[in-house]
Structure 1
């Protein structure tokens, strides 16, 4: 009996130990996992990682409720082309339902505001339990050149701490390796930019002084309303002059293109005729806020090739777009125009250009090979029109074509006569060559040179002389700007007149022979009559 009593006491003692053990687990659970949550003075950390996604489609493909529970995620969870984004400013505000977007006062003096770094991360630390709003400020962001934040689908982001897990526990701090992770996502976008001459061409040719229209187009990106700067800066090369006729237009959706009010931008335009000009168009912040993603801004103006253009060389017309969320002068990124589809032009050739050419001639005696001064010529194109030049002194400032029935009629109507000098040389400058969209180095066009007056003592040419204008018809290599070398002149030969002149010995012999023949004829006639 005593043994049975001892066994019961032993079992009771063991049972007490088991219950005691259960009690300690219950107490631990109450401390960490109870329905009451953490202690009232508990602090929490939020680790924010900024994700850059390819576009809106990638943003929409990510289901935040289904795919995310607050734990750390790898970047590839957001798509194959997703990356993190440094240089984006975030700050923490208190939740306030009475304020716009529920954004209340900053937490502390600065809302713990900081830029994402080291893989797009920011850690907001020691936040008490409560409701907060994480706000992205694009104006303080320092995203790298050529990039601007386009969409802010998760910003402002409302968070109520603590955030509970599915097992009833909650996220705590970085030190405990258990902080809450959030992933605001943006696509990164920038305005597109193209520039063409004659609407669609990267390359065009023209007469000196002939106006050509340049067209700049820019499609507005997502997030355009947040921009504080949208400035187009157009830089002319020395061979181009501003010719006015500026227009600013907007195309929205299916609506027709319409003029933009001149109050929407500040236009800094040079005087018409200014060489090596700079044209700047700065859109106001107020107007930028009215723009929508997908809107197309079109800027147009005219330019001419001037007398300083190098014959056979491209005269590019550059444009730079400065855009972004920072105020003007705040280091916003810049971009140049997009090359045509399928083209990757070499540096310096990704801007539209105008080119013009010329030709040099030398008038010579064909037999004696000596220079002949005083010969006069007109130039005729393939359309049968004749060249008329306007000059300031000896400098050609404008070329144009006029209609005439022939060379003589052309001179009467004002066509320019090119005159060979004492050395027999003469030239023509500022003629277009090639076809639309042919590069300056590739095109070629044939013209005709028609003599209107021969040198004294020489026969006038009865046939037109064909000559070719291209990149190397005036200079051997027009790209060597500091060492230009003239191309070989085309020689135009004339023959000296060799028909005997009236009053010479030849005419006396001919006349005497004629009289003798006539006399003999008369004698024979009389004899036959007898």
Structure 2
């Protein structure tokens, strides 16, 4: 059975009396008291750490884990059913079989034959709950009690709660025939951490950013995230009123497609609702849905794509934060960090340094040309690389000569002028080019100037084609003057 396997994993060993103490009360083992106290020491462990079998002795123990407050426990009298099931069986194996049957029948809730004693008690202080004045005898027999965790805390997320425990009186002090009237039990819970990863991180090179390594992403690629959410084992209980998964990216990062968000095998509308919020999303599970209840204690995988926008700041780490909230109590933030790069340029007059609008450029890397998406304030967001320059995006300088490119990965690039501003020259055979290097975190540290020379009123450079034209014209004028002078003299 599934529960028997869980019992083995949870390993909360039961306290049972010795064989000679079962049945009618024996005067040889009687003490001056007919009552006992059970003290619960509630402990919580990371996932997988409760699999080691630990024997409860009834004494104070170093049981490991951490104290857990807020867990509610109830005690039930199961004496009659215990002896009914036991019949004339007396071997240790037979006794443990009866106890296992009672445990199995109590996995979801206390069975009908269990009579509740008093009220639920919630662990406090160091995870302690006390049940005092429990009769050791009932109707001339030793009493049998069922101890159940009847309320599981909302936080932290509990993925496995304590298994039912059966205590058959009397409990003896270890190695003696002295009845232990102060019984200590250590029920164990497990918790697990939610996780968030960039699933296609291998596609991006890690680069240094202020002494820390981050994936170096570009706006030309989707960033695929996976969020592993632990569903509480008590998701269907009344104290879990809401369960919300929220993703809130930093500025410059946005959900690529709301329809692309996958929430395990759950059905939108039936099992959850989803809405776009602040460039991310918010998922609200329907805790009363059958499919959601069946996820109790299991993991839910949420996957979704995101992409950079033109508002991204290459001088800042890009953060994608997810938060899981139960009953509006936020849990630990799950953050995945990436970085990108960019470059700033200014087109200026070579003589006056005045900013020039209307110049057009293409960006090249190796033998590839960049395509961009228009952003805001003369900022261009990288889209993809193409091999044909004719397909490349011509990016233009704004009114003050400024232009910026963002969303580029680290590396060497070139900015090539393909059209000069009105009234300025462009040498088509030797297009002006500026080489530049993109480094994440160095976007705002440098603005590269790109000069242009105004048409007219200029002297050609020595050795250029223009100088030869001037020489030819000068020689022609001189020759004409010489022949005219000779003609006049004649």
For residue 187 of structure 2, what is the aligned residue in structure 1? Answer: 185
The corresponding residue for 1:360 is 345
Match of 1:45 among 30, 37, 46: 37
Aligned to 1:213: 223
Q: Is the contact between residue 370 and residue 393 of structure 2 (CA under 8 Å) also seen in structure 1?
A: yes
Match of 1:453 in 2: 419
Return closer, same or farther for 1:314/1:267 CA change in 2, 3 Å cut-off: farther
Matched, 1:351 2:336: yes
Superimposed CA distance per residue, residues 192-221 of structure 1 (whole angstroms, 9 cap, x where no aligned partner): 3123263557634323xx462331231648
- 2:158/2:234 contact within 8 Å kept: no
What SS is found at the alignment partner of 1:320? strand
Q: Which residue of 1 aligns with 2:121?
A: 114
Shift of 1:118: 3.6
- SS of 1:509's equivalent in the other structure is helix
Q: Offset of 1:167 from its aligned partner?
A: 5.1
Q: Which has the higher strand share?
A: 2
The residue aligned with 1:13 is: none
For residues 467 and 283 of structure 1, do their structure 2 counterparts lie closer, same or farther at Cα, with a shift above 3 Å needed? farther
Does structure 2 conserve the Cα–Cα contact (< 8 Å) formed by 1:358 and 1:431?
no
C-alpha change, 1:51 and 1:472, in structure 2 (3 Å) is closer
Tell me the alpha carbon deviations over residues 155-174 of structure 1, each in whole angstroms, 9 at most, x when there is no partner: 32222334456654534xxx
Question: Deviations along 1:111-148, whole A, 9 cap, x unmatched?
Answer: 33212234333221222323221111233x47xx5463
1:248 paired to 2:262: yes
So what's the TM-score if we normalise by structure 1? 0.62
CA contact (8 A) 2:357 2:396 kept: no
Report whether the alignment pairs 1:138 with 2:151. yes
In the alignment, structure 1 segments of 5+ residues that lack a partner are 1-31, 172-178, 251-258, 338-349, 435-444, 477-486, 520-530
The secondary structure found in structure 1 opposite 2:475 is helix
Aligned to 2:69: 86
Q: Residue 210 of structure 2 aligns with which residue?
A: none
Distance 1:151 1:373, change over 3 A: closer
CA drift of 1:299 comes to 2.0
| TM-score, scaled relative to structure 2 | 0.67
Partner Cα separation in structure 1 for residue 129 and residue 424 of structure 2: 93
Give the Cα–Cα distance (whole angstroms) in 2 for the partners of residues 400 and 492 of structure 1.
27
Q: Aligned ranges for residues 15-414 of structure 1 at < 5 Å?
A: 34=27, 37=30, 42-53=34-45, 56=48, 59-64=51-56, 68=57, 70=58, 72-75=59-62, 78=63, 81-95=64-78, 97=81, 100-101=105-106, 103=111, 104-108=113-117, 111-128=118-135, 129=137, 130-139=143-152, 141=153, 146=156, 148=158, 150-152=160-162, 155-163=163-171, 168-171=177-180, 179-196=181-198, 198-199=200-201, 203-207=215-219, 210=220, 212-218=222-228, 220=230, 223=233, 228=240, 231-244=244-257, 245-248=259-262, 250=264, 259-262=265-268, 265-270=271-276, 276-282=279-285, 284=287, 286-291=290-295, 297-322=300-325, 328-329=327-328, 331=329, 334-337=331-334, 350-353=335-338, 355-365=340-350, 368-371=351-354, 373=356, 376-391=359-374, 399-401=382-384, 403=386, 405-406=388-389, 410=390, 413=391
Contact 1:361 1:489 in 2 (8 A): yes
Decide whether aligned partners of structure 1 residues 112 and 498 sit closer, same or farther in structure 2, where only a CA change above 3 A counts: same
The whole-number CA distance in structure 2 between the counterparts of 1:57 and 1:404 is 55
Give the SS at the match of 1:511: helix
List gaps (5 residues or longer) in structure 2. Answer: 1-24, 85-101, 138-142, 205-213, 485-490
What is the aligned partner in structure 1 of residue 404 from structure 2?
428
For the aligned residues, what is the CA RMSD?
A: 4.2
Aligned to 1:7: none
Distance 1:92 1:472, change over 3 A: closer
The corresponding residue for 1:492 is 451
Q: Taking structure 1 as reference, are residues 395 and 112 closer, same or farther at Cα in structure 2, changes over 3 Å only?
A: same
- Indicate the structure (1 or 2) with the bigger Cα radius of gyration: 1
Rate the CA distance shift 1:467–1:492 in 2: closer, same or farther, 3 A: farther
Whole-Å separation in 2 of the counterparts to 1:213 and 1:265: 26
- Count of aligned pairs: 402
Q: Deviations over 1:317-374 (max 9, x none)?
A: 1101235xxxx44x5x61233xxxxxxxxxxxx4334534231223232xx3543746
Aligned to 1:469: 438
Give 1:234 shift. Answer: 0.6
Q: 1:169 to 1:390 in 2, by over 3 A?
A: closer
